[in-house]
Amino acid sequence: MAIILDGKSAALSLETELAARVAQLGTPPPVLATILVGSDPASATYVKMKGAACRRVGLEPRPIRLPEETGTDELLSVIDTLNSDPRVCGILLQHPVPRHVDERACFDRISLDKDVDGVTSLGFGRMALGEAAYGAATPSGIMRLLAAYSVPLEGRHAVVIGRSPILGKPMAALLLNANATVTVCHSFTRNLPDITRAADIVIAAVGRPRFVRAEWIRKGAVVIDAGYHPGGIGDVDLDAVIPLTSAYTPVPGGVGPMTIASLMAQSVAAAEAMAGLRDG
């Protein structure tokens, strides 16, 4: 019987621990600032979910909504203000921003100490090198979920399907840092089914519904579905794949809750570092 890697349960346990740690920081509570440019409904929903998670662990959410026509310079000025605010422990710039905004410049303006979503070039580089930095929230959440269920990584062959800068690439780096052997696949990869069938761990982050099929998975593999599409469908054809796995993440209820919980964990760690309770 395959083990269900229950992200909801793991997230609840982590949030309970985080609430106790935030309480030790006293008042006023640390602030997690979220910047939303424009009115994309999905982005607005994500911001609300992050605000609710903040309140559950005792952080103060500070949502900042800017109009669609906001330019790069104006957005950089907002980030500068938050960087200098001693109560702000973390800064989130909701992706995507409008096309006329230089998103990379704005991401990289976030102070490394407040880059709790792992979006800066410096943070990515330090994370990849195994130095102190906050990793991208979804890969970090996956690593926390694997650890919660004691899934062994050292020496295992992990295949990551997807190479985005916020998921596939940092996921591969974190797995390498955990001594896994990692293969990164993408839309130009040849013989993808043959590659995934050799994997002990398959992480699907390709952004295509039910892309990973049962015949791609070997018996006993661990399957992590990091996708989410309308109707509660992931990147894996889970109904067909589950009987082959030793462990898997459900959709929904697997990776999603751990993404937000990991973001909260990194925000609390940043707040503790600002208070001098831990190294940055």
Other Cβ atoms less than 10 A from the Cβ of 191: the count is 9
d(CA 79, CA 211): 38
94 is catalytic: yes
Determine the distance from the C-alpha atom of residue 213 to the mean position of all C-alpha atoms in its chain, rounded to a whole number: 24
Q: Check: CB of residue 34 under 8 Å from CB of residue 64.
A: yes
Residues pairing with 61 in the sheet:
32
Determine the distance from the C-alpha atom of residue 125 to the mean position of all C-alpha atoms in its chain, rounded to a whole number: 16
Q: Active site residue: 6, 114, 115, 117, which one?
A: 117
Q: Which of 238, 247, 251, 140 is nearest to 201 (CA)?
A: 247
Strand order across the beta sheet in which 181-185 lies:
3-4, 245-248, 221-225, 201-204, 157-161, 181-185
Residues pairing with 216 in the sheet:
none
Q: Which of 140, 217, 151, 141 is nearest to 180 (CA)?
A: 151
Q: At 223, is the secondary structure helix, strand, or coil? A: strand
Other Cβ atoms less than 10 A from the Cβ of 203: the count is 31
| Catalytic machinery residues | 50, 94, 117
